Amino acid sequence: MTVAEMEKAGEERERPGEATGSAPAVAAAGLPDVPRRIGGVTRSGVLSLLGAAASGLCTAVLLFGELAPFSGALGFTVTGYAAFLLVYAVLTGLEEDAQAVRDRVMTVVLWSAAALLFSGLALVVGFTAWRGREALPHTNFFTQDMQAAGPLDPLTNGGVAHAMLGTLTMISIALLITVPLGLACAVYLNQIPGRFSRFVRTIVEAMTALPSIVAGLMVYATWILGLGMQKSGLAAGFAISVMMLPIVIRAADVVLRLVPGTLTEAAEALGAPRWRTVWHVVLPTARSGLATAVILGTARGIGETSPVLLTAGFTAGLNADPTEGPMVSLPLAVFNFVKSPEPAMIARGFGAAAVLMALVLVLFAVARVIGGRGPGHQSRRQTRKALRASRRDSERFAELHGPGLRLFETGPADDGPDGPDGPDDSGNPDAPGDSRDADAPAAADAPDPADGEQPSSSVGDTH
């Protein structure tokens, strides 16, 4: 329907263009031949926006204060917003056609949707930080556990050190499991295509939204009920791993898929076996993206409560041994604090939640700093390093091939008796020797070697 509309608009636009000679025809068409504005700010646009906002506010005040028996802040906002949209549509309609009016109104609606979502985020984070302000200034909050503090004790007694230690322990265990397994599985999905790896990918994708409590139940069923182990930090680490594994695999898989095929082809053309290609080309190229994948998975894993709830038990004391005795993590501590009716305990819960939020924020900032670049894009330091390596390579090649091509003089003498290899080596010594000598200095001298060339030179370095 819209396409038809657009075509119509296009035809109308074209007609005056064809009849440029006759001025009356342009006037008769009634459409000025100006390009449509897409986005951008105009004076009348801003003015009608402001006017509509003012009239929306006034309408809401009038309705809620004087005319109708409405009440409530939310209703006020909704009524005001509806009035604002209506007035804005009318104001725009005074000087634009119907399509432009629809465009303006929808633009405002999209702005509001985004504003609503982001203000929701700001509200959640801000509220947590605001309520955490009572507990956070006390240093004992970070250094003590809750063993000596009762529910009625003031905030100057007791803290969440045990939960912080527990979170670190559990996430370390989970990372020890998920990073090697997850990255290797992502490499598997990318490097060994086939029916089985497609199947694995499908399953992993379906598991990314595995309910975290089911991950907890699974470890509870196998590790605690099946093997008779006790609830511990180790079990919680396992549960978090089960939950994180699909997330990390999927994110890493997406990143690995972006590694340019030309790079791996270049490595294989140089004769590198597959594993060297992966180790020296694919993984370094995707390094920043892989780090982001792991960090985002960590952020998810750190914040999960329900797997820990089922598998770690609960303790008020510091426990540094993940294999023995119950352990508590930050989200679990928050959960237990706020179940208490005591204000001091709730304040502690918000404090712990703020610490957790800060942890996630820091992880996120680190992920942005590391993973800001796409695969193959290097920081300045990496570029310099790769340049040095490439220069070293070219010097090495020059040393090898420069003085009288020693390689190929000794070659036939060694390989001669073997037979089949002999003719090949002696047959074309000039062509590869020449091309290498010509290429290597060129790559080193080039002032701006493309990013893509660097990893392949590091392949040469390792041979």
Among 151, 273, 317, 343, binds another protein (CB under 8 A): 273
Q: Is 206 in the site for another protein (CB under 8 A)?
A: yes
Looking only at residues 343 through 382 of this chain, which bind another protein when binding is defined by CB under 8 A?
346, 349-350, 353, 356-357, 360-361, 363-364, 368
Looking only at residues 222 through 251 of this chain, which bind another protein when binding is defined by CB under 8 A?
222, 225-226, 242, 245-246, 249
Looking only at residues 68 through 87 of this chain, which bind another protein when binding is defined by CB under 8 A?
71-75
Among 133, 193, 196, 388, binds another protein (CB under 8 A): 196
Among 26, 49, 86, 207, binds another protein (CB under 8 A): 207
Looking only at residues 162 through 181 of this chain, which bind another protein when binding is defined by CB under 8 A?
181
Among 164, 189, 240, 386, binds another protein (CB under 8 A): 189
Size of interface with another protein, in residues (CB under 8 A) = 119
Q: Is 414 in the site for another protein (CB under 8 A)?
A: no
Q: Is 187 in the site for another protein (CB under 8 A)?
A: yes
Q: Is 89 in the site for another protein (CB under 8 A)?
A: no
Q: Is 95 in the site for another protein (CB under 8 A)?
A: no
Among 193, 211, 343, 402, binds another protein (CB under 8 A): 211
SS (H, E, C) the chain: CHHHHHHHHHHHHHHHHHCCCCHHHHHHHCCCCCCCCCCCCCHHHHHHHHHHHHHHHHHHHHHHHHHCCCCCHHHHHHHHHHHHHHHHHHHHHCCCCHHHHHHHHHHHHHHHHHHHHHHHHHHHHHHHHHHCCCCCCCCHHHHCCCCCCCCCCCCCCCCCHHHHHHHHHHHHHHHHHHHHHHHHHHHHHHHCCCHHHHHHHHHHHHHCCCCHHHHHHHHHHHHHHHCCCCCCHHHHHHHHHHHHHHHHHHHHHHHHHCCCHHHHHHHHHCCCCHHHHHHHHHHHHCHHHHHHHHHHHHHHHHHCCHHHHHHCCCCCCCCCCCCCCCCCCHHHHHHHHHHCCCHHHHHHHHHHHHHHHHHHHHHHHHHHHHHCCCCCCCCHHHHHHHHHHHHHHHHHHHHHHCCCCHHHHHHHHHHHHHCCHHHHHHHCCHHHHHHHHHHHHHHHHCCCCCCCHHHHHHHHHHC
By beta-carbon proximity to another protein, the closer residue of 23 and 74 is 74
Q: Is 212 in the site for another protein (CB under 8 A)?
A: yes
* Smallest separation, CB 118 to another protein (Å): 6
Q: Is 204 in the site for another protein (CB under 8 A)?
A: yes
By beta-carbon proximity to another protein, the closer residue of 138 and 250 is 250
Q: Which stretch binds another protein (CB under 8 A): 97-105, 136-144, 157-165, 387-395?
A: 97-105
